Structure 1
Amino acid sequence: MNLFTRPMKLLTAVVLEQTSDAVVKSLLALGVMDFVHINKLDSRQMEKLSFRQSSISRSALQDMRHRVEALLRQGHVAVPTSDVLNVQNLEKPQLEAFSKTLDDLTANLLSLKEKQKESNQMVMGLEEMQRYIKEDKGEYLDLRVGQVTKGRSEDLKDKIAAFGGLLLSIENTDLWISLTLRRDVGQVDPLLEKFGWMESSDVQLQQQAVSMIKEQLEKEHQEALADREKIEKEVDAMVANQQTQLFAIWANLRLNELSDQIRSYFAYTRNTTLFSGWVPADQAEMVEQAIIEASDGQCVIEWTEARQVPRREVPVAVSSPKMLAPFQRMVNNYSIPEYGTVNPTIFVMVAYLCMFGLMFADVGQGFVLMLVGLLGKYGYKKNPLKKDGMISRNLTDLLIYLGLSAMIFGALFGSYFGLGLLPALWFNYEAVVAGHAGEGSLITDVYGILGLTVKFGIIVIYTGLVLNWINLFRKKAYLQLTLDKNGLLGGILFGIGIYMGFAFVESGYKSFPSDPWIVPAITILLVLLFLRGFLAYYISAKQGGEHQDLGAVTMDVVMEWFVDILEIFTGYLSNTLSFMRVAGLGIAHAALMQSFKELSSLADGFGGVMIFILGNILVIVLEGLSSGIQSLRLNYYEFFSRYFTGKGVAYQPLGLKSAPSEQR
């Protein structure tokens, strides 16, 4: 894992046009170049270049690939991945032949799909009628006993089945029982009239019809389920027979999509091809060698260092181990780090898990979270076609980490499903909240817990400040590094504020410290903060920025100075105190478990056990959700705000493993 974003280099290459196909294959196989359009050359040079339209529409390739994927899903076959792609198999797509193959398979599936639709309608209709009978909701059903006087009874039976209804003959009689849903009466009445339905006047038989139909309903339901399953197997078998061919078509379409996407960045002269793109510095030599080999050495390659290009134009590649993927997604969901800055993933992981553990500390409940994550991960792995549910694929990985964090902090605080089964390794959290912590406890009251989380918040904020100082140093933004509210000046003021705050608490909330150095130090720092605005204007003007008169500059500096002072004295205070919510949720967690234990003790036997189990489930769901959200909020608003600019551009290399996307 890189502590900083990966160093990048910009490649610009010219190859002979007859070798461009081989170059495309090599670049596609490597999959490490983030291509850029050749639009930053001198306008006179651009006039010598041309851009060519692809002979095949990429949207047509995408549409046909989507058709293949839809057919595979109908047969419950997983859509192929980049593993089936091989650049050596890149050939011109035979769209007409592909279309005919897909049309033939679609036509063969159509009749089965119609049968499947009818079978689904039958199953749903029978299940609905069963439910209404079971729940004694006869008003939603239309039950009749009568005689068919016209046409064939079997024809009527088939037509009623089309509505999800049922027609059952009564043994040793010429009478029939018709059962349909009340909402279909408008269509059923004309149908029965067409077959000359004569209603029976036997009241007793009408009453017996309900019990007679129940058994037949269950039988018909099982037969309908079997028919549906049979049709589904036929669909699966038909698609499976064509799987090899469908995979080959998909691979060809996908390869041509990617190839066309790469070519869309190419520019041409009469005999040459020009392209450019960003490559991680540690892979530059490999890319250069691949281009040389593919072009038989007939190429010109030029490298540009990232420092020669505006930072905002350099794509950001972040290298983190796969095991940190849940926390990398947290960073990506917020924004992309700026090029050359600290990779925040590992810091987000530590801060997030510590926050969650402090709020949701319990070994047993943590084990449940971890188990849910493991089972969910196994379920998705076993069934790749399964759609994301309430617990998504991404969330399963995070739950495993959260469970481990809760278990570690639960052992430190001595909580096992809210029970003190083993001594606490640090201090007994629940005993402190309940007000009966022993004299030897490191924390004796809730104020100690609040103080603990405030100190934790100070560590998090200072970590953010240090990361910001490192970023500013690497960017050579020395003025911001020294005199900004998030620079060294702000860090010193924050430190003085911490010193005064702890002294105020130690005095019993009666007085602030009277050290003689405090006032001069704050005064000097505020003066330096004021001068920063003038220095910033001077540097900007010297570098060719806009010139303003002294009055306008002074007004801007004064306004900015007041805003910075407010942000320093109120922002740092509110950010620090915001971490008290960690203590608040932790105290609420302990109090809820204490309440459920007391409630369960009031009930005897099985009732008490059930109250205790349900209480734990409620705490896991509600407190777990709240703790996860608050941990994310504190990371985003209290931690990221100190160092994370979010001005980066994502590194998106084109290769075989690139995610399918719409045409760009």
Structure 2
Amino acid sequence: MYPLRFIFKRNVRILRRCDAMIVKMKFLSISGPRMDIDRVCDKYLSKYEMQLENAVTELKTTDNLLPFVEVNPYKDALAKAEQFAALLSESVEHIDQSMSKDEMLAFIREINHDYLDLQEKKELLNKKENEVRERLNVLEPFSPLDLELHKTMHYKYMKVRFGRIGVDYYKRLEKYLFGDLQAVFLEGTRNENYVYGCYFVSNIDTSKVDSAFNSLHFERIAIPSEFIGTPKDACISLQKQIEDVKKEIEEIDRKIEELVSSHAAKILGVRKRLEELSNNFDVRKMAARTDVGDTKEDYYILCGWMGEGDVQALMEEAKEDDRVFIVVEEDREKFFGDPPTKLKNPRFFKPFELFIKMYGLPAHDEMDPTMFVALTYTFIFGAMFGDVGQGFCLFLIGGLIYIKKKMSLAGIVSIAGIFSMIFGVMFGSIFGFEDVIPALWMRPVDAMTDLPFIGQLNTVFIIAIAFGMALNILVMLFQIVNAAKAHDTENLWFSTNGVAGLVFYGFLVLTIVLYMTGHRVPGNIMMAVFLGIPILIFVFKEPLTNLVEHNHKKMEESKVMFLVQGFFELFETLLSYFSNTLSYVRIGAFAVSHAAIMEVVLMLSGAEDGAPNLFGIILGNIVVCALEGLIVGIQVLRLEYYEMFSRFYKGSGREFKPFNKQSK
């Protein structure tokens, strides 16, 4: 029972620390002279994370606010700088940010002028290459013909027609040629569909022969008359032209590469600085300006959310700046919506924020369940997939991917692998072998326990259900904390997951534990008090809430319908308690099935006969590690979402999105 006590005590400590995992947000407004907005963004807001809100719509109590309608002057220059940076083939050790704003824009214009000149030449060469290649494609099928193109095209007493004919029609053409058709056909190349070639005909018979060839669907192909020599010679000449053009294109590419590489440090420096300036200028999309007429200098107003620590640092840094005026809003009626959620967890727990974001971020008045999910997920995963060798593989592979790619899922797999190794030691299992290391706790397949009324049952099933009961009680405590923070009377005192539900379920768990361990169970009076009263509270939670909150609201339905509805809701509640608790049996079931599956793998590999097939053992471990690891991971996530989160967590928060990171 040690693991159960360990995880329960650890999670109780988490209950006290979860509030600190959500950064407390402050709503503030920043204002100053309109022309000073870029300096403020560059000097202050670029250092701190702030989620900007639309000042025109948020500051409802401020009159004469207008949006900014200016066009970003850095957008085109930044696009060009990014284009040139993408052409750099080698990494640059340092970047040059010494230029001023005007110098940067002039630099981009100058290098873009040279780049466009080279691109224009390259496009002309590409066009020339395409034209020559088209001529080569036309002439290539006739390359086997041994004739002088220029002379042939200018015969005085006969005509020559180049083209192609279908293979089926060509067989019929051969019969005509052997008959009375006064023409000679020379075959060039052929493929599965066509035969390419040309036919010669005297001027007198041209009309008759052309009609015969047309009836056989002969497709004429125009051959330019300027070619000199045989078709093969002409093809060689065209190929040489293509190669020459390619060399010219490569030379231009080399010049472009030299152009950007010779200014690599400046290009990267300009790109970075223009990106900052562009992002700062885009702040105007969320800002407002005051309309004070032509005689006075107008002002900008920025508003949004910032972490409490950043607010203090910003106020301290800008206190001597007489051109910046910062106000931290305390009156929530001046702005819309709830604060965004910014999670702040230790590095070890950071990957598990992925699961929280998949379900929904906590609202500002909810606890952050990241640490709870991290500990329970990895603990349950290890219990269901306890194996030292396979756990080490998960830890190693997941860790390497996380270090290289920073994938949160890989980090989760790596941490889960640690717990798999821990439980593998406790179960005495390494790559499916259970006779190599001793079990420090138990072997899931063999451990059995006698229970009253039920009889003999696998010990891991009993521990899994007991563990599930402890977690249910813990998440009810979480729900009570969340309801207290939200001032939700009904969910705090009268709901199935509030104080009433905790008393009912906790007393029921206590009774079952006492009975199963052979101790005396509570008497009938205590049963009636601790089970009966919560049941009545469940049924009458709505009128009780109205009574406590002094809300004199009449019941919309009749008393009979209210009782009928309450009965069915009560039945559903009791059924959910039972199914929710029983759902944790899967922890023990997977622990047993893992050992059984690996036993089958070893048996098929001949390990039990003393002549193990090493390839079979390795392949079996890979398959089990991949497939069962995936299934266990999904099943544990299901337990988190459906059995735990459904009792205490809403996930209705919105993500904190600072403007500088959004633009990146």
Q: Same fold (TM over 0.5)?
A: yes
Query: Aligned partners of 2:110 and 2:194: how far apart in 1?
Result: 40
1:366 corresponds to which of 386, 391, 395: 391
The answer as to whether partners of 1:93 and 1:252 remain within 8 angstroms in 2 is no
Query: Aligned partners of 2:638 and 2:61: how far apart in 1?
Result: 51
The answer as to whether partners of 2:146 and 2:231 remain within 8 angstroms in 1 is yes
Question: Are 2:650 and 1:624 aligned?
Answer: no
Match of 2:427 in 1: 413
Match of 1:22 in 2: 39
Match of 1:495 in 2: 506
Query: Aligned partners of 1:629 and 1:147: how far apart in 2?
Result: 66
What per-residue deviation string (whole Å, max 9, x for no partner) do you get for residues 305-339 of structure 1?
48778995112222112332210121112111010
Match of 2:480 in 1: 469
Identity of aligned residues (%): 23
What per-residue deviation string (whole Å, max 9, x for no partner) do you get for residues 587-627 of structure 1?
22111111111122269898711111111111111111111
Distance 1:234 1:451, change over 3 A: farther
Distance 1:297 1:445, change over 3 A: farther
SS in 1 for 2:62: helix
The answer as to whether partners of 1:530 and 1:558 remain within 8 angstroms in 2 is yes
Match of 1:288 in 2: 315
Match of 2:25 in 1: 8
Query: Aligned partners of 1:6 and 1:411: how far apart in 2?
Result: 39
Match of 1:637 in 2: 642
Query: Aligned partners of 1:513 and 1:231: how far apart in 2?
Result: 92
The answer as to whether partners of 1:359 and 1:583 remain within 8 angstroms in 2 is yes
1:260 corresponds to which of 273, 281, 287: 281
1:32 corresponds to which of 33, 49, 59: 49
Aligned pairs for 1:165-244 (under 5 A) are: 240-244=261-265
Match of 1:51 in 2: 67
Deviation at 1:649, TM superposition (A): 2.1
Distance 1:492 1:44, change over 3 A: closer
Deviation at 1:349, TM superposition (A): 0.4
Unaligned runs of 5+ in 2: 1-16, 127-140, 150-188, 199-220, 224-229, 233-249, 293-297
Query: Aligned partners of 2:96 and 2:55: how far apart in 1?
Result: 28
Distance 1:100 1:620, change over 3 A: farther
The answer as to whether partners of 1:85 and 1:255 remain within 8 angstroms in 2 is no
Aligned pairs for 1:563-574 (under 5 A) are: 564-574=569-579
SS in 2 for 1:261: helix
Question: Are 2:469 and 1:455 aligned?
Answer: no
2:536 corresponds to which of 524, 527, 532: 527
Match of 2:348 in 1: 323
The answer as to whether partners of 1:28 and 1:258 remain within 8 angstroms in 2 is no
Number of residue-to-residue matches in the alignment: 536
Once the two structures are overlaid, the 10-residue window that deviates more, 495-504 or 71-80, is 71-80
Query: Aligned partners of 1:489 and 1:247: how far apart in 2?
Result: 63
Unaligned runs of 5+ in 1: 117-143, 153-179, 198-228, 381-391
2:527 corresponds to which of 503, 518, 526: 518
Deviation at 1:353, TM superposition (A): 0.2
Query: Aligned partners of 2:444 and 2:255: how far apart in 1?
Result: 60
The answer as to whether partners of 1:85 and 1:251 remain within 8 angstroms in 2 is no
Deviation at 1:451, TM superposition (A): 1.3
Name the aligned partner's letter for residue 276 of structure 1.
C
Name the aligned partner's letter for residue 45 of structure 2.
L
SS in 2 for 1:323: coil
Query: Aligned partners of 1:230 and 1:405: how far apart in 2?
Result: 59
Name the aligned partner's letter for residue 611 of structure 1.
G
Match of 1:303 in 2: 328
Distance 1:550 1:599, change over 3 A: closer
The answer as to whether partners of 1:312 and 1:339 remain within 8 angstroms in 2 is no
The answer as to whether partners of 1:54 and 1:260 remain within 8 angstroms in 2 is no
Once the two structures are overlaid, the 10-residue window that deviates more, 625-634 or 302-311, is 302-311
The answer as to whether partners of 2:352 and 2:370 remain within 8 angstroms in 1 is yes
Query: Aligned partners of 2:476 and 2:40: how far apart in 1?
Result: 46
The answer as to whether partners of 2:340 and 2:653 remain within 8 angstroms in 1 is yes
Match of 1:580 in 2: 585
SS in 2 for 1:50: strand
Name the aligned partner's letter for residue 267 of structure 1.
A
Query: Aligned partners of 1:394 and 1:78: how far apart in 2?
Result: 27
The answer as to whether partners of 2:104 and 2:270 remain within 8 angstroms in 1 is no
Name the aligned partner's letter for residue 438 of structure 2.
P
Q: CA RMSD in A?
A: 4.6
Structure ID, larger Rg: 2
Query: Aligned partners of 1:456 and 1:113: how far apart in 2?
Result: 71
Name the aligned partner's letter for residue 484 of structure 1.
S
SS in 2 for 1:361: coil
Deviation at 1:302, TM superposition (A): 2.6
What per-residue deviation string (whole Å, max 9, x for no partner) do you get for residues 77-107 of structure 1?
6899xx9898x98847977864774575588
Distance 1:93 1:253, change over 3 A: farther
What per-residue deviation string (whole Å, max 9, x for no partner) do you get for residues 469-514 of structure 1?
112222232442111111011112222332455567679xxx9987
What per-residue deviation string (whole Å, max 9, x for no partner) do you get for residues 134-176 of structure 1?
xxxxxxxxxx9x9674699xxxxxxxxxxxxxxxxxxxxxxxx
Question: Are 2:545 and 1:536 aligned?
Answer: yes
Query: Aligned partners of 2:414 and 2:617: how far apart in 1?
Result: 24
Distance 1:372 1:76, change over 3 A: farther
Match of 1:423 in 2: 438
Query: Aligned partners of 1:414 and 1:111: how far apart in 2?
Result: 73
Deviation at 1:521, TM superposition (A): 3.0
The answer as to whether partners of 2:92 and 2:264 remain within 8 angstroms in 1 is no
Deviation at 1:234, TM superposition (A): 10
Once the two structures are overlaid, the 10-residue window that deviates more, 35-44 or 406-415, is 35-44
Name the aligned partner's letter for residue 537 of structure 2.
L
Name the aligned partner's letter for residue 313 of structure 1.
D
Query: Aligned partners of 1:375 and 1:50: how far apart in 2?
Result: 52
Distance 1:39 1:2, change over 3 A: farther
SS in 1 for 2:617: helix
The answer as to whether partners of 1:364 and 1:417 remain within 8 angstroms in 2 is yes
Distance 1:419 1:556, change over 3 A: same
Query: Aligned partners of 1:44 and 1:402: how far apart in 2?
Result: 52
Distance 1:111 1:640, change over 3 A: farther
Distance 1:593 1:104, change over 3 A: farther
Match of 2:600 in 1: 595
What per-residue deviation string (whole Å, max 9, x for no partner) do you get for residues 256-283 of structure 1?
3321232222222232222222222223
Query: Aligned partners of 1:470 and 1:449: how far apart in 2?
Result: 31
The answer as to whether partners of 1:7 and 1:306 remain within 8 angstroms in 2 is no
Question: Are 2:302 and 1:275 aligned?
Answer: yes
What's the TM-score, normalizing by structure 1? Answer: 0.69
Distance 1:23 1:613, change over 3 A: same
Once the two structures are overlaid, the 10-residue window that deviates more, 278-287 or 49-58, is 49-58
Match of 2:401 in 1: 376
Question: Are 2:619 and 1:614 aligned?
Answer: yes
Higher relative contact order (CA closer than 8 Å, sequence separation 6+): 1
The answer as to whether partners of 2:18 and 2:371 remain within 8 angstroms in 1 is no
Deviation at 1:298, TM superposition (A): 4.3
Deviation at 1:362, TM superposition (A): 0.7
2:656 corresponds to which of 651, 655, 658: 651
Query: Aligned partners of 2:81 and 2:610: how far apart in 1?
Result: 59
Name the aligned partner's letter for residue 426 of structure 1.
W
Query: Aligned partners of 1:52 and 1:534: how far apart in 2?
Result: 52
Deviation at 1:573, TM superposition (A): 1.5
